[in-house]
Amino acid sequence: MERLREKKAIITGGASGIGFEIASRFLQEGADILIAGRTESRLYDAQKKLCSDHKRVLCFKVDIASEALVKNMFHFALEEWGRVDVLVNNAGAMRINKSLTDTTWNEWTSVIDTNINGTFLCCREAAGIMKKQRFGRIINISSMSGYIANRYFHVGSYEVSKSAHSMLTKVFALELAEYGITVNAIAPGYYDTQPNRDFFQNNADLRNRINEMIPKGKLGNIEELGHLATYLSSDVVEYLTGQTIIIDGGYTIW
């Protein structure tokens, strides 16, 4: 359908999982993309899998918690493309699964620096470019864990950081609305990602209990997230901004 024809998109954490799925969908929809991440070899492996035309898939090694590296990433994109139309903030720190009272300062800051500060830095740099263009789409990949305390897991820095995504999304949406820029977030529930597969393979009983709590009775298919990200990035979405879309098979209905 090429709903993103000639769009230029940056996808952090684009070498695997949800980020890779979104990158693949964006390519099919006509966009040129830059996938960013901390491990260079994984980025180039993903580039090979995504497209034989490497001009359509750029790679950039970055830790989004570093202001200097984030600025360098957007400078690189501007040098290559002259514009940035879409930013997908998918890079994030994983759940530590420790109670807050047992969490060390380094464990706390490692999650907060990436999930909150890193997302803020990427949004800010994208906003500066998109304001000049008077067009842009920013999508923050959050989690239903920003809205609930997940049963069977410790609630901690991860949930706090994802909760902050909602207000960060709203404030950027408010500030950028007059420039033709929308800012929204996607909050997935339990999806069939490799980390979840690995975890549940060793915890079959827990998977069954979680499936019983999901009205749809199964883990989600990440292809659906790629389609949703495409829709939010397209020209047809102009009035939807500042929203977090929870997509969880009904888990948070309870």
Positions annotated as catalytic residues are 158
Round to whole Å and give the CA distance between 208 and 203.
9
Beta partners for residue 71, in sequence order: none
Token pair 């820029």 in the structure block, residue: 181
Beta partners for residue 59, in sequence order: 35
Cβ neighbours of residue 33 closer than 8 Å, sequence gap 6 or more: 8, 9, 10, 11, 14, 23, 26, 27, 50, 56, 57, 58
Helices assigned H by DSSP within 142-193: 157-176
Quote the Cα angle for 188-70-23, to 5°: 40
Token pair 């997509």 in the structure block, residue: 247
Q: How many CB atoms lie under 10 A from the CB of residue 133?
A: 14
> 252: closest CA among 200, 199, 216?
216
> 232: closest CA among 187, 167, 171, 165?
187
Beta partners for residue 8, in sequence order: 32
> Residue 179, Cα to own-chain centre: how many angstroms?
22
